[in-house]
Copies of this chain bind each other. A is one copy, B any other.
């Protein structure tokens, strides 16, 4: 009896398939199952063996995103240091999954009417708490609700990913543009 990581043989790495699917779908949301399979370098039948259908694939992508986001949030240590610094660490940690995020956000129209996956609620709460902490510490203005700042963060990350992919913003400026707009805003502040 052989058992590798998960107790059985694994020729195709499920995670690797998901990542290439994410890369493709974030560029072409309507990509076919066959295109996803080819992009991952596997056959369509094999893709079907691992993910029952397109829905299952999207669900798996969502789970992957949730898991990686939780990890990124942990690593960003949202409750340490100033809220400013925590936001910077957060954006930096989220950059690698910006394309996947923007795909899932648009795909989340699937969940309209359905129960919201509470995994997203947990993440939203963590970000909201961060902004709330910044407000309580006097760093952030209190007239913008934490909920809105959370939405704005996602929106700006999506816009940034799109702008970079379209060549309107240099990839190296991704974090700076988002963080500076979110934290500092377009209006010039006398402090700074």
Which residues of chain A have a CB within 8 Å of any CB of chain B?
27-30, 84, 105-106, 109, 112, 131, 134, 138-141, 143-145, 147-149, 151-152, 154-156, 158-160, 162-163, 168-169, 173, 176-177, 180-191
- The smallest beta-carbon distance between A36 and chain B, in angstroms, is 15
> Do most interface residues of chain A lie in helix, strand or loop, or is the interface mixed?
helix
Tell whether, in the assembled complex, residue A183 and residue B180 are in contact, meaning their CB atoms are under 8 Å apart. no
Give the residues in chain B near A141, CB-CB below 8 Å: 180, 184, 186-188
- The smallest beta-carbon distance between A6 and chain B, in angstroms, is 34
Tell whether, in the assembled complex, residue B163 and residue A181 are in contact, meaning their CB atoms are under 8 Å apart. no
* Residue among A112, A151, A176 with max Cβ neighbours from chain B (10 Å): A151
Tell whether, in the assembled complex, residue A159 and residue B154 are in contact, meaning their CB atoms are under 8 Å apart. yes
Tell whether, in the assembled complex, residue B177 and residue A187 are in contact, meaning their CB atoms are under 8 Å apart. no
Copies of this chain, complex-wide, total 2
* Residue among A138, A143, A160, A186 with max Cβ neighbours from chain B (10 Å): A186
Give the residues in chain B near A139, CB-CB below 8 Å: 187-188
Tell whether, in the assembled complex, residue A187 and residue B186 are in contact, meaning their CB atoms are under 8 Å apart. no
**The one of B106, B162, B187 that contacts A151, using a Cβ cutoff of 8 Å:** B162
Roughly how many angstroms separate A190 CA and B140 CA in the complex, as a whole number?
Answer: 11
Roughly how many angstroms separate A176 CA and B190 CA in the complex, as a whole number?
Answer: 22
- The smallest beta-carbon distance between A14 and chain B, in angstroms, is 26
Some 5 contacts from A to B, beta carbons below 8 A apart, are A140-B188, A143-B176, A144-B186, A152-B156, A185-B189
Q: Closest B residue to A30 by CB, please name it.
A: B109
Give the residues in chain B near A105, CB-CB below 8 Å: 162
Roughly how many angstroms separate A138 CA and B190 CA in the complex, as a whole number?
Answer: 12
Roughly how many angstroms separate A140 CA and B155 CA in the complex, as a whole number?
Answer: 21
**The one of B30, B109, B131 that contacts A27, using a Cβ cutoff of 8 Å:** B109
Give the residues in chain B near A149, CB-CB below 8 Å: 181, 186
Give the residues in chain B near A180, CB-CB below 8 Å: 141, 143-144
